[in-house]
Structure 1
């Protein structure tokens, strides 16, 4: 499963700016909805005007910010000389073809089409693409609304909703209240094949109430059949429990919240796992290491002294190495 994040999107645009500069663009047009974000990124890098496709077709006056001036002085989209029409990705090319038919004949010669990601390395239905990302693929901006969810397993805490705090996680009344009122995080649009959680079976009713409240559709709800929290912690079978179900099905993706469990699920199943906490796709055939928890308070205090900017650089370096 190939994956691109918003950070990847920004990096891939930056790394290909020379290609875009060669077009001498004075207007960038974003195709809704996924093309709007890369279109704005490109326009800001080039310091040129940007608009959406509908405003372009109807020649609506361009809006300008007050903090900095664009290097182009056009007021209306149809005044542009070189127009870059941007979408995030191209697969069959049918959507782009349909959009091109809506552009007035006298403007078509001004338009250069651009997709940030192409499923193929060679194609003639788009003027320019920046990177090849073969199928199967998902992006950060469509992962939870992609048809892949029908063939995926989802964790609950840390994915569909926030984690419980230590105080809430009392295996009693406070925990029940948490389940019933947990704040939502990533709510999938389509039906999910299975929700596979380490929540105990005795909390099925409360979990189902919350899922129904947030209109989350699913075929199966797989919970851990143990008597209490202490037994669950003693056995430490969180990752194994999830991996066991994932491996037994023909599903092609597991969406897990916690990194170490993601690695465990990957190692047991040899199938892709998306880790929400780290925003990375773990793929079979690549090596990932379990992160050891820092238990000593002295070392914890030393780590807390490291500036956040340095921690981010270390994290980015490690992700590139992987």
Structure 2
């Protein structure tokens, strides 16, 4: 396993070191005959995997001391919150008293995989919202969605139950009343006096609920909280929920815009855009027209896609990349098939080709949080890619999850 030598033997600086465990500054001083710092520091060897797990705990807000100050995000107990990685690299543990965890000894937490991944479709989501509607207490007079993820749930519940709706804006720390049909003229003062149901789509760690608690206490002190899906390992859970949904899980409506986005490789046609029809797949003008004018399907916005592997022939790279840019999609690596013609490409095993590039990417990519996954539009290929790569593959069209 790769390790980092993190501290210079002379000055203790956290930086890249030479074979003598010296930083570049101290090496230059020694070679120039200049005096070196008197303080000797034993270099610490830090396990990369443990480092990433430790940082993951902080980033997922498992600790109440994690947050943003002066534009820096990290542990608020440190002078500069962004120094958390430097601290962990130095082999130090939690600075809280008492500490949540020791040096590189993170406990199990919400993002620890406990079971096979589940893919939740938009249709599942609608059906589960309807189930939630039947669980809402009779004295609720206002539905409040946690912006932005909870607004779809709040909207559907407000329509099903014929209740007014509001939104909690976590970033602004306020409530926006949006009304509901014939109740639009009802005063905000009257609405505020009713008992509210505060809803979100999922509760992963419970930190969103903790973050909006001050607003709830001020605006709706007797509010009931609810969510459609709840991770059984969450630190804070709502009063009402419909489905226990352990990690890892995949939500169709949030497929490329979640914490797993940096760990998601994908197919192109059938995922980023609609599939090409047989009539369009002529390796000529009709196919070129399809490439230029394909309708987008899943649109990644949160992060650049780390790896796209497509069976499109490499000669179509320029219009393919132009289409991605036109639709605001970013990517790090786009692999296209090296064949010269459609007939040559069709003789290849496309699933094996995708699995090979998926596996090569995984050799240099450490997912955090785990697991990494490949999203494939064709169920038969998805199964074959999973068999060949022996890693997670997801097929949204069938809600299939294969390993």
Which range, TM-score by smaller chain? Answer: 0.7 to 0.9
How big is the shift at 1:118? 1.8
Equivalent in the alignment of 1:294: none
Distance in structure 1 (CA, Å) of the matches to 2:316 and 2:345 = 14
How big is the shift at 1:10? 2.5
Alignment of 1:185 onto 2:297: yes
Q: 2:278 aligns with which of 146, 166, 169?
A: 166
Q: 1:236-265 CA distances to partner (integer Å, 9 max, x unpaired)?
A: 512221122223332611111222222222
Question: RCO higher in 1 or 2 (8 Å CA, sep ≥ 6)?
Answer: 1
CA contact (8 A) 1:158 1:276 kept: no
Structure-2-length-normalised TM-score: 0.60
Q: 1:136 aligns with which of 242, 248, 252?
A: 248
Please list every run of 5 or more consecutive structure 2 residues that lacks an aligned counterpart in the other structure: 1-116, 366-371
Equivalent in the alignment of 2:344: 231
CA 1:163–1:8 in 2, change beyond 3 Å: closer, same or farther?
Answer: closer
Q: Secondary structure at the match of 1:29?
A: strand
Distance in structure 2 (CA, Å) of the matches to 1:2 and 1:61 = 34
Equivalent in the alignment of 1:302: none
Distance in structure 2 (CA, Å) of the matches to 1:122 and 1:244 = 36
CA contact (8 A) 2:167 2:177 kept: no
Distance in structure 2 (CA, Å) of the matches to 1:247 and 1:36 = 38
CA 1:204–1:47 in 2, change beyond 3 Å: closer, same or farther?
Answer: same
Distance in structure 1 (CA, Å) of the matches to 2:401 and 2:243 = 20
CA 1:140–1:196 in 2, change beyond 3 Å: closer, same or farther?
Answer: same
Distance in structure 1 (CA, Å) of the matches to 2:176 and 2:274 = 44
CA 1:9–1:50 in 2, change beyond 3 Å: closer, same or farther?
Answer: same
Q: 2:191 aligns with which of 69, 72, 78?
A: 78
Distance in structure 2 (CA, Å) of the matches to 1:162 and 1:39 = 30
How big is the shift at 1:74? 6.1
Distance in structure 1 (CA, Å) of the matches to 2:373 and 2:178 = 45
| Structural RMSD (CA) | 3.0
Q: Secondary structure at the match of 2:311?
A: strand
Distance in structure 1 (CA, Å) of the matches to 2:178 and 2:386 = 51
CA 1:124–1:225 in 2, change beyond 3 Å: closer, same or farther?
Answer: closer
Alignment of 1:259 onto 2:379: yes
Equivalent in the alignment of 2:203: 90
Q: 1:216 aligns with which of 329, 340, 343?
A: 329
Distance in structure 2 (CA, Å) of the matches to 1:62 and 1:283 = 44
Equivalent in the alignment of 1:153: 265
Higher helix share: 1
CA contact (8 A) 1:62 1:75 kept: no
CA contact (8 A) 2:383 2:402 kept: no
How big is the shift at 1:16? 4.6
Distance in structure 2 (CA, Å) of the matches to 1:60 and 1:242 = 48
CA 1:268–1:204 in 2, change beyond 3 Å: closer, same or farther?
Answer: same
How big is the shift at 1:20? 2.4
Distance in structure 1 (CA, Å) of the matches to 2:177 and 2:273 = 41
**Number of residue pairs the alignment of both structures matches:** 275
How big is the shift at 1:219? 1.7
| 26-35 vs 2-11, greater mean Cα deviation | 2-11
Equivalent in the alignment of 1:312: none
CA 1:58–1:182 in 2, change beyond 3 Å: closer, same or farther?
Answer: closer
Q: 1:113-143 CA distances to partner (integer Å, 9 max, x unpaired)?
A: 1122222256545333332212222312211
CA 1:209–1:58 in 2, change beyond 3 Å: closer, same or farther?
Answer: closer
Equivalent in the alignment of 2:125: 9
Distance in structure 1 (CA, Å) of the matches to 2:338 and 2:175 = 59
How big is the shift at 1:30? 0.9
CA contact (8 A) 2:203 2:234 kept: no
Distance in structure 1 (CA, Å) of the matches to 2:304 and 2:162 = 41
Q: 1:246 aligns with which of 348, 358, 361?
A: 358
Structure-1-length-normalised TM-score: 0.74
